[in-house]
Chains A and B, each alone.
Chain A
Amino acid sequence: MTEFLTVAVHALDKAGARFGDVRREDRTAFVVRAANEQIQAVNRIRRQGWGVRAFVDGAWGYASGTSQDADDVATAARRAVAIAKADARAGVPKIALRAMPSLRKTIRQKVKVEPSDVSGEEKIAAVMDLCRAQRIESISSTNASYSESDWSFELANTSGARVSWREVRLRIAGQTIAAEGDRREAAYEFRDGTVGWELVKGMDLAEFGGGVAQEACEMLKAEKPPAGLRTVVTDPGVSGLLAHEVMGHASEADEIVKERSFLTHQVGKKVGSPLVTMYDDGTVPGAHGSIPFDAEGTPSHKTKVIDQGIYRGFLHSLETSGALKARPTGNGRAQDFGRRVWVRMTNTFFAAGRQRKDELLEETKDGVLTKSWISGMEDPVGGGFQAVTQSGFLIRKGEVGPRVRGMTLTGNALSILKSVDMVSRELKLDGGTCGKGEEDYVPVSAGGPFMRCKIVVGGG
């Protein structure tokens, strides 16, 4: 552990922090984007910096910077303590932190093919291949992107923890826009994870890109989706949005402490059908939201949130575990060295069931099958659900019928989960980034099986 961090920890102690930590980050990224078979951008990015935080009587003070001078981090530590003391004077309820990490450990994520061992030319060629593969009839715009990130962290705290770790992520994506007259439709598909170049190496980019293009073309012929309460078979992506946006955000214990979650008093109560089991698990190998440690140095964890329809509990940071007298679950995360740590998800998903996807469809007389998600939005207070899909299909008499355009799904989350009557054995996780409110983005994944339930749908 470097002298730099030790200086900060000593300064925190000396300035009167009840608890404090310092986290230093070194983040590199390589990004390639192409459009219409031309390279648009080749960017190399490096961000280095550190954040110090101090806990005093229930309040936190944060100070961060990019200087490599040990005097500056010591000054920042004192500033963090001063900010925490100023906030504490405003009447923050006092809480005692518990289970502060005191580990001394290093975990270096290993990948099969180090991205740094692959030339820039090869990565650029892959993006161009993906772009070219989308060029078929009716296509007005082809787009492809590749990004790799390699993040290294060092953390030290006043309880003696000295941990360091590495996170590597890759993402490759294609987006096609098809046009016919004035009408334009877009299709988007991606692959990602905490993996190395093996992700791209294992893909058939021609098939992948061709599939995205075909999807966009088919959406030109799609019908307007139905409106109102419908039987919906959610695909794994949309199931994941239900897990993440509604049950996941509302299970973040800082929302529970504030009673800003509709799940505040629900532990031990029925929140879904017996077919519904849900986890947040930061240890899933290769998943986009997996982390060795959270931003507080707590090892990642697998937390059962819902067990066969019964609500089991919350996701915790150090602070919420102190406030609610629970164990930290490794969910204290931060966007970067300059942002606060608070409770965030990792990989959040519903567990697989026992039925085949085809069985769900065959037993649906009149319904909708969703196809790929675009976005979702949380509502921890009201328990509402909004998910936007890329497209979908009508289901008629047990068969998948005409394609419908992108639609939005909404409703009360508990009503939706209690209506779940079939769950498939297929399970998939999709990566992405998650904001809390409208900021503080961290890498996560969400997913689940195909699930049949009742949801209000509508689309333009």
Chain B
Amino acid sequence: MDLLDLAPDAVRRARSDGAEAAEAFAISFTTRSIYIEDDVPKVGEDRQEGGLGVRVARGKRVAFASTTLASSEDVRASVASAIDSLGQVPEDPDFSGFPTETAKGEVAGAWDAATASTDVSGLLEAAKAFTDAAKASKSTSVPKAVFRIQDYAIRVANSNDVVASHRGTLVLCYLTAKCGSKGKFGEGILKALNTSIRGIDFPELGRTAARRAAENLKAKTFKGSRAGVAVLDPLDLGEIFLQSVGSSANGENVHKKRSAWVGKIGAEIASVGVTIRDRPRMPRGLASCVADDEGMVTRDRTLVEAGILKGYVADHHHAPLLSTPAGNGFRRAVATVEGSYTRPAETHVSNLVVEPGRKGLDSLLAEVDRGVYVEKFASPEVNEFSGSFALEVRNATLIEKGELTDHVKFGLLTGNFYDGLRKVVGIGKDLVPSHGFLSTPGCAYVPPMAFGGFELVGQK
């Protein structure tokens, strides 16, 4: 039995059981993981799962139920559960039915055959390449690392005869290196994301993690304060973009007046050099697809052009409320597709891409008279409503007259990210992907960027 065929089956059953309209999302995936502990593979995982999410409607009443998929009996139970809920939910005055428009085909590189066929021994090779490179640095080990591949296939069907299919591969690596001895250690932490395992340079990641660990060991407690330019590494910066821009450009948040950019179409919200796009059709993009998780056709769109807010993204529910195109209804995250069937599609960005500049990181740093270069925060969290933040730096280096000087820790980089977007003083050229909270759909591709107006604060 192909589990994905249960999606159209669920729609037919829902209609015959009393739903006026129905939508079903089925997913089947395998996950293979290797966990490295103290330089050697300690745990290997092989997971297989299928799931179904069913949304049913009667008039303006809408309800949802989901289940793991093992048999057609699960479809019956899930449909019955959703229909049972219809009798309890109030009407949703904004409900406008399910999509009527879809698309066929694939975005190049969203699914990679070689990655899909990589087994545990292939993952062990990748792990060894990373570990060997990290350990080549003096007094360095790999205390913990995760190497994971997911191979998944999706089918969305609805009672408007929409049937959309998608498949993808995801590679997620969470990597650490530790440097030091006698109870004094520094740590470097990295992540890598790709749709292809061949797209990740594991030896280079090993060397980078080792360097960060050594610098973290050498870092001094930051004292005093330092205003100036902050140059931010793209991995953590991407998460910040997802929390701020991803949230404020989210049409659902705009409709609910949760967004910081309500009513700001046409307003200058960033420096003139900043252009941001949502690119679901980007080749090899982690969130790329021709149809979203509601089956709706996707389109690349410009959200911010030369600093001016041009538009929002929306799912099928919110698009008509904002007079904006749909195609951004997502359930699956880019870090993992686990659990994606347990929630209905909601508005999220797909691949949020900051238009890269022409400068390499070295050139960006060379232009800074006084500031700080932050490679890793403890946790890159920004208040999505106000934009304010204060982030503990874990890998940071002071900049003096274009040169990197002292490594520092136990300091807070403080500021307001929405203000910072208006004070961008440099944009690098190399895009790096990052994801937000593990189960949140969408990802960001951003380059290193330099911001004015932030301040590093330490002990006084």
Contact = CB atoms under 8 A, between A and B. Distances in A.
Interface in A58-93: 58-68, 76, 79-80, 83-84, 86-87, 90-93
Contact of B390 (A41, A119, A458): A458
A184 B385 contact: yes
Interface stretch (A104-112, A190-198, A431-439): A431-439
B43 A60 contact: yes
B409 interface: yes
B42 A42 contact: no
A229 B42 contact: no
A59 B45 CA distance: 11
B216 to A, nearest CB: 7
A379 B257 contact: no
Contacts of B51: 47
B91 to A, nearest CB: 9
B89 A60 contact: no
A377 B379 contact: yes
B88 A45 contact: no
Nearest to B385: A184
Contact of A90 (B40, B143, B343): B40
B70 interface: yes
Interface in A402-445: 405-408, 410-412, 435, 437-439, 441
B87 to A, nearest CB: 8
Given A38-B93, A43-B66, A407-B390, A388 B381 contact: yes
A355 interface: no
A39 interface: yes
B187 A381 contact: yes
A149 to B, nearest CB: 12
Interface in B382-438: 383, 385-392, 394, 409-412, 414-417, 438
B410 A410 contact: yes
B88 A382 contact: no
B120 A184 contact: no
Interface in B319-352: 335-336, 338, 342-344
A65 B414 CA distance: 45
A308 interface: no
Contacts of B257: 36, 140-141, 177, 179
A227 B390 CA distance: 10
Contacts, number: 280
Counting chain B CB atoms within 10 Å of each CB, the highest count among A120, A376, A437, A458 belongs to A458
B48 interface: yes
Given A38-B92, A44-B64, A382-B394, A91 B40 contact: yes
B85 A120 contact: yes
A87 B416 CA distance: 47
B48 A64 contact: yes
Contacts of A379: 378, 394
B258 A377 contact: no
Contacts of A386: 378-379, 391-392
Counting chain B CB atoms within 10 Å of each CB, the highest count among A83, A141, A339, A382 belongs to A382
Contacts of B185: 259-260, 262, 381-382
Interface string B48-89: 111100000000000111111111000001100110010011
Contacts of A38: 92-94
Interface in B230-286: 256-258, 260, 262
Nearest to A51: B47
A227 B385 contact: no
Contacts of B338: 338
A48 B68 contact: yes
Counting chain A CB atoms within 10 Å of each CB, the highest count among B71, B256, B343, B438 belongs to B256
B122 to A, nearest CB: 12
Contacts of A39: 89-90, 92
Contact of B44 (A87, A262, A406): A87
Contact of A384 (B66, B378, B458): B378
A135 B42 CA distance: 53
A258 interface: yes
A381 B383 CA distance: 27
Interface string A354-397: 00000000000000000000111101011011101000000000
Contacts of A79: 46
B105 interface: no
Interface string A151-172: 0000000000000000000000
B69 A177 contact: no
Contact of B143 (A92, A258, A460): A258
B121 interface: yes
A401 to B, nearest CB: 20
A265 B184 CA distance: 11
A459 interface: yes
A408 B412 contact: yes
Contacts of A338: 31, 45, 47, 49, 338
Nearest to B187: A381
A460 B389 contact: yes
Counting chain B CB atoms within 10 Å of each CB, the highest count among A79, A92, A119, A435 belongs to A92
B460 A229 contact: yes
Counting chain A CB atoms within 10 Å of each CB, the highest count among B70, B88, B338, B390 belongs to B390
B144 A437 contact: yes
B43 A340 contact: yes
A254 interface: yes
A79 B120 CA distance: 11
A35 interface: yes
B390 A459 contact: yes
Contacts of B417: 460
7 contacts: A41-B344, A43-B344, A64-B45, A66-B49, A68-B70, A141-B256, A435-B438
Interface of A: 29, 35-36, 38-39, 41-49, 58-68, 76, 79-80, 83-84, 86-87, 90-93, 119-121, 124, 128, 140-141, 143, 177, 179, 182-186, 227-229, 254-255, 257-260, 262, 264-265, 338-340, 374-377, 379, 381-382, 384-386, 388, 405-408, 410-412, 435, 437-439, 441, 456-460
Instruction: Report the 4 A-B pairs with minimum CB-CB distance, sorted nearest first.
Output: A460-B388, A408-B390, A120-B88, A377-B379
Given A68-B70, A459-B414, 9 more contacts: A45-B65, A65-B48, A83-B46, A257-B38, A382-B186, A384-B392, A441-B438, A459-B388, A460-B388
